[in-house]
Structure 1
Amino acid sequence: MTIVGSGAPVLSEDNVNTASRPSQLRITDLKVANLVGVPFPSTIIRLETNQGLVGYGEVRDGASASYALILKSRIIGENPCNLDKIFRKIKQFGAHGRQGGGVCGIEMALMDLAGKAYGVPAYALVGGQFRDRVRCYADTPSEADPDRMGKRLLDRKARGFTMLKMDVGINLIKDVPGALIAPPGALTDSATMHPFTGIQVTQRGVEALAAYVARVREIVGYDVALAADHFGHIALDSCIRIGRALEPYTLAWIEDLIPWQFTDQWRQLTEAVAVPTCTGEDIYLTENFKPLLDSGAIRVVHPDPATSGGIAETKRLGDYAEEQGIAMALHLAASPVATMASVHLAAATQNFLALEHHAADVEFWNDLVTGLPNPIIADDGNIAVPEAPGLGFTDINEELFAEHLDPRAPVLFADTAIWDNETAHDRLWS
């Protein structure tokens, strides 16, 4: 205790905030809310604690909530401030694509809780800031007509976005005579990997795609960055020919032309074209990005923090890519919860390039959380990095959440006690 003047003794804790005692903080519950239309189905995780603090994270768009719920029994009773310990405990249950969503969503929620417990923004937990504003790029649904596509992108540009992305794929030329050679049913088969579909893009098809991009670029101008995605399930030779045809239009990158697993094919593509190549949204953990990065197979690495490992693991990935001279952009199609997790990650990563925003047409998106500027993305296309603890927003908007719940799971943060006793012999070694 301390003595103040001649008055009564005052406990030293009377002068400090004891709302959280980090060393005694424990996770007591995990609940989820399954949302739709934000812009895609997303599961929001809420971790509750013995001190009243709650932390929020988000399972990747289109993933199952069970990817997070299965981990509940593994984290109850843990101190969320032990970020690395818990991540090492649960990362074995993640995998590539949407299967990484549970581990990553929980990691975001742990960062939110630890930041609140220590009274610091999440970026401070992974090394501090390189920037206080995070550039966003607007993805835009495809239009068959390049004039309509250009006008949609112009609208994004007028709203302040300094980087845009559109789809440029074989769906645009499927009705052009002589543009594609494909086995029966191949154009509607989304389950066969690109090298094995037998689809070829002819010279006429390549020219049609190049003309589409040329018209869009003419409309939006050359004072804004423009990337391209969703080329279709086509093999390497067609990808190279398309990439070369698009060189005159100075694209920011061409994305996911072939599956990320084919490192040598990515290297061949990158060496063949003078357009930056980009992939990574479905890769889980830094170790699985290393073949692409070590071989110089891509120019831009593009993880989705809701698959790649959350904030800290993706920060490690960014640092590794930087050593190889490779910039890191962030893939994302999410609510403001995962968006703000990505903002803190971007703030703490030196070689960060841009963060995807996929909800420019979702009118209620900004209102899903409270305590942030509205709109969250300013009129210069950037998000201000919040200084508030954790992920930086005050709370979720429960009323709005309730309006957008998946009708198959209509209760907001329903009881999840059924998962309390989920157990297995988890150890990976004897």
Structure 2
Amino acid sequence: MAQGAGAAPTARTGHEQELTSDRMLDRVNTNSRPSDLKITDLRVASLVGVPFRSTIVRIDTNQGISGYGEVRDGASRSFALLLKARLIGENPCNVDKLFRAIKQFGHHGRQGGGVCGVEMALMDLAGKAYGVPAYALAGGKFRDRVLCYADTPNSPDPQVLAERLIGRRKLGYQFLKMDVGINLLWDVPGALIAPPGAREQTTTMHPFTGIRVTDKGVDLLAEHVATVREAVGYDIPLAVDHFGHIGVDSCLRVGRALEPFALAWLEDMVPWQFTAQWRELTTALATPTCTGEDIYLAENFRPLLEAEAIRIVHPDPATSGGILETKRVGDLAEEHGVAMALHMAASPIATLASAHIAAATHNFLALEHHAVDVPWWSDLVTGLPSPLIEDGHITVPDKPGLGFDDINEELFREHLDPAFPGFFEPTEVWDSEIRRDRLWS
């Protein structure tokens, strides 16, 4: 029955009582007006020891919010700065539009670092503008916590390496990685056959060095891994990397010798470009094969996946294309029955970007963490738990964007790269770069 004019007002429901005037603002996005958001500036600051050299990208806007990304470790800061003139005046929420405009300026390896760092910053900005975490912009999350695998400094003494790995376990890491390769064999008579000068040919691709591992060398590598595996136990995944620039025939012999140790994967045994060689390795070996950290864009992972040439795809989001493109890599891999691990050696900024990718990707396996021995690493950003990684996992932030409140300016200044000591200094020289970017006539 309709309420009469003189009747007492109906009591509020519990939901209505919650929406008092004081709490209404909690449901309003006060970060920005997304449709009016414009990019006004792009600046960088370069850090060392995080664990390597990394350049942090900051994109500023007309509404006072900024987004952060990270150029891949060791890459030139110019790869990000040259994109500035192509971004000024654009709405950062148009992430796909801007990515399509700038992706032509990236390439494989560290040449993709600028495009990827900018994409991370755009996703951080878009998340802040809409008040949602980056994983929500990538389609939502499959998991609340992201498993990290701990990379570990090598040692020629397997007992020393084993103790380092056991130390990772004591810190709570539940997935480990070690290096094993011909760097352990160079000074052992009879372990390697190599042409003169081959040891110095670090820029020569594996099939062209002429380096071969002898039976003695294969046995020594197997003994090295056996000692480590026995010490850390068979109840934890243990991946292996950095075999050295050896041809596929030596890789096959080493790979077969390591099969008894139930390794999580054999990483980057040959360059990623050689699909046929990867298929040969994958077909012949019982240990999963893994590559991809230097591949740019999802389309370039397709040949390896369609040829069933690898068992684990391993993009680095600071090379593969940033957050959304790396999610596409994972989805493509899933179509081919392949899991995705993430390569990463970076500050918490790119690591958090990777955590959002991992949360949003169904077939995700593990995310690399390369800074276990950097005690101040987690404190480079504020507003998140410190340490950021607990029990070998990152809890995926639910705050907008990448999920941290701000950078720790004092700590940043302490670890600025001496070669580039400026702290987000003006970059007007990049504002009006002459450009004619269209790829067709």
TM over 0.5: yes
Spell out structure 1 runs of 4+ moving beyond 2 A: 13-19
Residue 57 of structure 1 aligns to a residue in which SS? strand
State yes or no: 1:97 paired with 2:109: yes
Counterparts of residues 312-331 of structure 1 (less than 5 Å): 312-331=324-343
2:405 maps to which residue? 394
Shift of 1:423: 2.2
Structure 2: gaps (5+ residues): 1-8, 10-20
RMSD: 1.2
Decide which moves more: 333-342 or 405-414.
Answer: 405-414
- Residue 195 (structure 1) aligns with: 207
1:411 aligns with 2:422: yes
Identify if the C-alpha distance between structure 1 residues 175 and 112 changes in structure 2 by more than 3 Å, giving closer, same or farther.
same
Q: CA deviation at 1:223?
A: 1.1
1:298 aligns with 2:310: yes
Correspondent of 1:279 among 275, 288, 291: 291
Task: Give secondary structure in 1 for the equivalent of 2:325.
Answer: helix
- Superposed, which structure 2 residues align to 1:28-427 within 5 Å? 28-378=40-390, 380-427=391-438
Q: How many residues align?
A: 419
TM-score (normalised: structure 1)? 0.96
Of the two, which has the highest radius of gyration?
Answer: 2
* Residues 1:30 and 1:203: Cα distance change in structure 2 (over 3 Å): same
Residue identity in the other structure for 2:270: I
Structure 2 Cα separation of the partners of residues 248 and 392 of structure 1:
42
Q: Provide the C-alpha distance between the structure 1 equivalents of 2:254 and 2:338, rounded to a whole number of angstroms.
A: 23
The structural deviation recorded for 1:187 is 1.5
Counterpart amino acid of 1:394? D
Partner Cα distance (2:285, 2:171) in 1 = 32
CA pair 210-199 structure 1, distance change in 2 beyond 3 A = same
Extract unaligned runs of 5+ from structure 1: none
Tell me the SS of whatever aligns to 1:28. strand
Alpha-carbon offset, residue 18 of structure 1: 3.7
| Structure 2 counterpart of 1:194, one-letter code | H
Q: Which amino acid aligns with 1:333?
A: A
Distance 2:416 2:396 in 1: 28
Any idea what SS the aligned residue of 1:52 has? coil
Tell me the CA shift for residue 409 of structure 1.
Answer: 1.4
Q: Secondary structure at the match of 1:103?
A: helix
In the alignment, the residues of structure 1 paired with residue 231 and residue 31 of structure 2 have an alpha-carbon distance, to the nearest angstrom, of 55
Relative to the length of structure 2, the TM-score reads 0.94
The 3-state SS of whatever aligns with 1:171 is: helix
Secondary structure of the equivalent of 1:58?
Answer: strand
Give, in whole Å, the separation in 2 of the partners of 1:231 and 1:64. Answer: 26
* Aligned CA distance change for structure 1 residues 94 and 401 (closer, same or farther; 3 Å): same
> Does the CA contact (< 8 Å) of 2:29 and 2:131 recur in 1?
no
Corresponding residue SS for 1:31: strand
Counterpart AA for 1:397: N
Structure 1: how far apart are the matches of 2:103 and 2:29? 34
Equivalent residues of 2:225, 2:258 under 8 A apart: yes
Q: Deviations over 1:51-110 (max 9, x none)?
A: 001000000000000000000000011101001000000000000000000000000000
3-state SS, counterpart of residue 88 of structure 1: helix
Distance 2:229 2:336 in 1: 31
Task: Give the Cα separation in 1 of the matches to 2:167 and 2:28.
Answer: 49
CA shift for structure 1 position 16 = 3.3
How much has 1:314 moved relative to structure 2? 0.5
State the distance in 1 between where 2:39 and 2:180 align: 45
Distance 1:298 1:373 in 2: 36
Distance 1:129 1:306 in 2: 20
Residues 237-273 of structure 1 show CA distances to partners (whole Å, capped at 9, x for unaligned) of 0000000000000000000010000000000011111
Identical pairs, percent: 71
